[in-house]
Amino acid sequence: MSSNTPRIKKPKKTCDICKSGKPVIKRPKTGQLVCKECFYFVFEEEIHQTIIQGNVFKENEKVAIGASGGKDSTVLAYVMNLLNKRHNYKLDLVLLSIDEGITGYRDDSLETVKRNARQYNLPLKIVSYKELYGWSMDEIVKEAGNKNNCTFCGVLRRQALDRGAVMLGAKHILTGHNADDIAETVLMNILRGDIPRLQRCTFITTGNDSMIKRSKPFKYTYEKEIVMYAHFKKLDYFSTECIYAPNAFRGNARVFLKDLEKVRSTAIMDIIYSGESYENQSNNNIPTSKVCERCGYMSSNKICKACVLLEGLNKGLPSLGIKKSKKARANPKVIKEGESKEIKVKNFQDLTKEENCKMEYVVEKSEKNNEMDIDENKKLMDSVNNMKRKLQNLD
């Protein structure tokens, strides 16, 4: 080829949606190359469609957003605050954080949550394991060891969120579980043979028949997109992993899922759809909902899992509730006189809205702030309508 032959310039890639913007991300779900503005729009509106199709909310509902300071919960708080204004959900949103008592991790992440409360103008309530159960996670790990710490934390955290919601007078909790998390949960339940949980782990909303219901607006939202959204929006979040997380069984499912995704890009959504399509022909394995005789929390047994775990800790038998009872009692720890703790957990039914006065951070809205919210909502709707017109013109 002659040196004088002109080089053929490759056409510049443009956004697959608006056909004009410069692509900044390739969407893992669709494979589309999209610009920043189109990414914001489709990311937010897909979450809105998930909410609408799942019939998640009722008007004037008080909703607690589980806030840990991590990327998922931070983006959830930001997007829910935005969509609540844009689509006029008429929700009373509050942030609810759990302090597990993990030094060097949770104490730092809670500072991020407090900044988010100020940034998004949302009230914040923080409840701690120590306050609720008399034990912090650091103390539990010291007593029980590293092997089963995620079992303790998972059980206590779930109940702590419900207790915090009752204190706030909220009957609905939002969590930041994304598509990757749900696919991992499906795999974990298959590997453990946990049929009852496999049946309900893909539900967008659970607990409709109980005092507190939970919803996952990020059910179909990829973790990669949440990270990129937080990055482009410059959101303030805490990215350090829990110091006890490496011991979690979920980590094995996560590695397996990432390996599957390398050979099949649609693996995450395929696993979720498989979980949704699963139907158990027998109802024998579905637990009957009861109320714990000790703390009043919902349970499938006379005594809830949290109370069993706490009893083991208080008696110096941390394996109680983890292993079979006979094995747990076979090698009991020798307890010196006065060492055994008897900490009574406050009855779930006794928690009232009166505890709302103990809010860690409360936003005082003035008339000026309300006017700013109206102006901000108008700008949001103008932006959305412009984007919709832009897409319609392309069609």
Tokens of 52: 């609408």
pLDDT at 368 over 50: no
Residue 331: the pLDDT is 41
Alpha-carbon distance of 150 to 144, in angstroms, equals 11
Residue 363: the pLDDT is 53
Give 350's DSSP letter.
G
The model's pTM: 0.83
Residue 198: the pLDDT is 86
Please state the rounded mean pLDDT for residues 138-163: 88
- Round the average pLDDT of the chain to a whole number and report it: 82
pLDDT at 75 over 90: yes
pLDDT band at 294 (very low <50, low <70, confident <90, very high): confident
Q: Give the model confidence (pLDDT) of 264-287 as tens digits.
A: 988 999 999 999 988 665 555 556
- Kindly state the percentage of the chain with pLDDT values over 90: 48
Q: Give the model confidence (pLDDT) of 306-363 as tens digits.
A: 999 998 988 888 877 776 544 444 344 444 444 555 566 777 766 754 454 455 665 5
Q: pLDDT: is 162 or 148 the higher one? A: 162
Distances (CA, A) of 15 to 263, 369, 376: 26, 37, 27
Alpha-carbon distance of 128 to 110, in angstroms, equals 11
pLDDT at 192 over 60: yes
Contacts of residue 219, Cβ cutoff 8 Å, sequence gap at least 6: 50, 54, 177, 178, 179, 182, 202, 204, 272
Length in residues, the chain: 395
**What is the chain's Cα-based Rg?**
24
Residue 357: the pLDDT is 47
pLDDT at 376 over 80: no
Residue 332: the pLDDT is 43
Highest mean predicted confidence (pLDDT) among 20-29, 208-217, 236-245, 347-356:
20-29
Three-state SS string over 172-237 comes to EEECCCCHHHHHHHHHHHHHHCCHHHHHHCCCCEECCCCCCEEECCCCCCCHHHHHHHHHHHCCCC
Distances (CA, A) of 31 to 28, 113, 241, 373: 5, 33, 29, 36
Q: pLDDT: is 68 or 368 the higher one? A: 68
Please give the torsion angle defined by the CA atoms of residues 183, 186, 189 and 195, in that order, rounded to the nearest 10 degrees. 170
pLDDT at 102 over 70: yes
Helix H segments across the chain?
36-53, 71-86, 106-120, 129-133, 137-144, 149-168, 179-192, 195-200, 223-233, 250-263, 267-277, 305-314, 325-330, 367-394
pLDDT at 161 over 90: yes
Give the residues across from 214 on adjacent strands: 173, 206
φ and ψ at residue 63, rounded to 5 degrees: -125, 125
Residue 218: the pLDDT is 97
Contacts of residue 262, Cβ cutoff 8 Å, sequence gap at least 6: none
Domains for the chain: give ranges and CATH numbers: 44-176+217-248+352-389 (3.40.50.620)
